[in-house]
Chain A
Amino acid sequence: EVQLVESGGGLVQPGGSLRLSCAASGFTFSSYAMSWVRQAPGKGLEWVSAISGSGGSTFYADSVKGRFTISRDNSKNTLYLQMNSLRAEDTAVYYCAKDPYTEPYYFDYWGQGTLVTVSS
């Protein structure tokens, strides 16, 4: 059974940093692209970042480019999102999502999400 479990969310001040993790199990982690998708309170879904199965290619939404860094450790079956220079508008539930391919396309499995709140 595919499982994706996010952690690392919490309250952080504007300008601060946070690192999210997503522990994956139930599939061959290195064979699939992974993404982070966020949802601000009461709003729709926004794709944030993706990484290929090998980790050799990364992709970012313009809204986070230069501030967020996606990475993965295939030996630990874990996906990460390093978030720097956080802003109030980054407040959201962050979901980890699995792609059915090695490059980012769409999402066949999702985690339960972790809440990030950026506020002073």
Chain B
Amino acid sequence: DIQMTQSPSTLSASVGDRVTITCRASQSVSSWLAWYQQKPGKAPKLLIYKASSLQSGVPSRFSGSGSGTEFTLTISSLQPDEFATYYCQQYKSYSLTFGGGTKVEIK
């Protein structure tokens, strides 16, 4: 199985900050990578697919980049509603795998 590793596991930030989360794959997944946001007690929400394509309805302050084994999710200006946990997920192989998550906390 392809292993996905996110860093950091926890990130402290303030409203308005630029936030960057990294996701690394144990082998190349090309651009077959998605990002999700999850708030406590809620289902995950799709933000980005194919590494850099913004899902419909998601604010443009979210962006994704990367290919191969290294990817980033960037929030250009963190909003109060965006303190949450973020996950990456590869779909290069049919054994789909998620990263361990990055919790974005209020500083």
A→B interface (CB under 8 Å): 35, 37, 44-47, 50, 59, 61-62, 95, 100, 103-108, 110-113
Contacts and interface: CB of A to CB of B under 8 A. Distances in A.
A50 B96 contact: yes
A110 B43 contact: yes
A1 B101 CA distance: 28
Nearest to A52: B94
Interface of B: 1, 32, 34, 36, 38, 43-46, 49, 55, 87, 89, 91, 94-101
B43 A45 contact: no
18 contacts: A37-B44, A45-B44, A47-B89, A47-B95, A47-B96, A47-B98, A61-B95, A95-B43, A104-B96, A105-B32, A105-B91, A106-B34, A106-B89, A107-B34, A108-B46, A110-B45, A111-B43, A112-B43
B32 A107 contact: no
B31 to A, nearest CB: 12
A44 B100 contact: yes
Nearest to B85: A44
A100 B49 CA distance: 11
Contacts of B89: 45, 47, 106-107
Contacts of A107: 34, 36, 44, 46, 89
B4 to A, nearest CB: 10
Given A62-B1, A108-B46, A50 B94 contact: yes
Nearest to B50: A106
A113 B44 CA distance: 10
Contacts of A105: 32, 91
A93 to B, nearest CB: 9
A90 to B, nearest CB: 17
Contacts of B94: 50, 59, 103-104
Nearest to A59: B94
A110 B91 contact: no
Instruction: Return the 4 tightest CB-CB contacts between A and B, nearest first.
Output: A110-B43, A106-B34, A47-B96, A105-B91
